[in-house]
């Protein structure tokens, strides 16, 4: 069954659900495009990796983070030192958190031309690390600027209400979600699909070479399929508030909508 919401389901932004959704969506987009782009292009799933030292921000449950390794941790205890400390003082220790580097990875897609291996289009699905301060955002913005300074086409999908928006000149977009489609030969102009909780997610084209037909990506259909296959209806309690919470007006709308779907009483 699909999500009960007409477009993006705000409950899917929960830190416990977003990692799986993010990974599933990247793979589903690749599966959708691969047969349509053959034999001129192929879709490559790439991974961006970096180390994050802000342990506090990672431990609060931010959706896109995949922990690969933790450095400097040990479960061994020194019994001699423990004994000395006990006899030397009666002061009890306090629990602290150390900034242990954690390796993080983020997936994205590249459309490459078979003959030249040149990257024609890059597709990014924004993660919480991209939208908050820190190394994750810095690295993403650096990559984003390099793409926008090239002829590579660029698609940026933002399905997260929380966090700082990506830079767009002369436009103060206040929509909940947005999809940016930037063709390399049309910059600095680009197409922005801005939509809210109440709206169906708009279809958008995949830019390729100018002479090629642009496939259409139906993101709504992909998310509905992921919701069904992933059994998210069994994981979500729609009687509770979503995380992050909605504004007062949006919460009232969502309450009415969910009652109409028979998920609240």
- pLDDT of the residue at 88: 53
Domain 19-70+100-227 CATH (choose: 1.10.3470, 3.90.1570, 1.20.1090, 3.40.50): 3.90.1570
Q: What percent of the chain has pLDDT over 90?
A: 72
What does pTM read for this prediction?
Answer: 0.83
Domain locations in the chain as residue ranges: 19-70+100-227
Residue appearing with tokens 């820190």: 134
Please write the tens of the pLDDT for every residue from 82-93: 444 555 557 899
Number of C-beta neighbours around residue 74 at 10 A? 5
CA distances in angstroms from 55 to 97, 104, 105, 117, 192, listed in the order given: 8, 12, 15, 38, 34
Share of the chain above pLDDT 70, in %: 86
Q: What are the tens digits of pLDDT across the range 185-204?
A: 999 999 999 999 999 999 99
Chain segment 19-75, per-residue pLDDT in tens: 899 999 999 999 999 999 999 999 999 988 777 765 444 433 443 443 334 444 444
3-class secondary-structure state, position 161: coil
Average per-residue pLDDT for the chain: 87
Contacts of 187 (CB under 8 A, 6+ apart): 148
Note every long-range contact of 257-263, with CB atoms under 8 Å and residues 24 or more positions apart, other chains counting.
Answer: 257/4, 257/5, 258/4, 261/4, 263/4, 263/238, 263/239
Paired with 46 in beta bridges are 108
Query: At residue 109, does pLDDT exceed 50?
Result: yes
pLDDT tens track for 133-161: 888 899 999 999 999 999 999 999 999 99
More confident residue, 72 or 206: 206
């Amino acid at each position: 069954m699909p999500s009960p919401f007409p477009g993006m389901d705000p409950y899917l932004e929960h830190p416990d659900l977003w990692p799986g959704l993010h990974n599933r969506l990247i793979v589903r987009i690749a599966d959708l495009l691969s047969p349509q782009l053959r034999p001129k292009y192929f879709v490559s799933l790439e991974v961006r990796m970096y180390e994050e030292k802000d342990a506090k921000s990672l431990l609060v449950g931010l959706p896109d983070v995949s922990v690969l390794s933790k450095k400097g941790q040990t479960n061994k205890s020194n019994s001699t030192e423990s004994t000395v400390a006990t006899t030397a003082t009666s002061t009890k220790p306090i629990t602290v958190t150390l900034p242990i580097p954690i390796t993080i990875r983020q997936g994205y897609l590249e459309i490459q031309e078979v003959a030249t291996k040149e990257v024609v289009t890059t597709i990014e699905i924004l993660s919480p690390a991209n939208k908050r301060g820190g190394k994750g955002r810095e690295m993403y913005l650096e990559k984003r600027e390099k793409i926008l300074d090239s002829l590579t086409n660029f698609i940026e999908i933002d399905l997260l209400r929380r966090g700082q928006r990506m830079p767009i000149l002369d436009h103060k977009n206040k929509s909940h979600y947005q999809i940016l489609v930037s063709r390399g030969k049309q910059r600095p102009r680009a197409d922005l699909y801005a939509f809210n909780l109440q709206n169906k997610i708009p279809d958008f084209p995949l830019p390729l070479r100018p002479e090629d037909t642009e496939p259409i990506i139906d993101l709504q259909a992909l998310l509905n399929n992921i919701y069904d296959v992933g059994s998210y209806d069994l994981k979500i309690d729609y009687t509770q508030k979503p995380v992050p919470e909605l504004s007062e007006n949006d919460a009232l709308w969502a309450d009415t909508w969910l009652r109409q779907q028979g998920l609240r009483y």
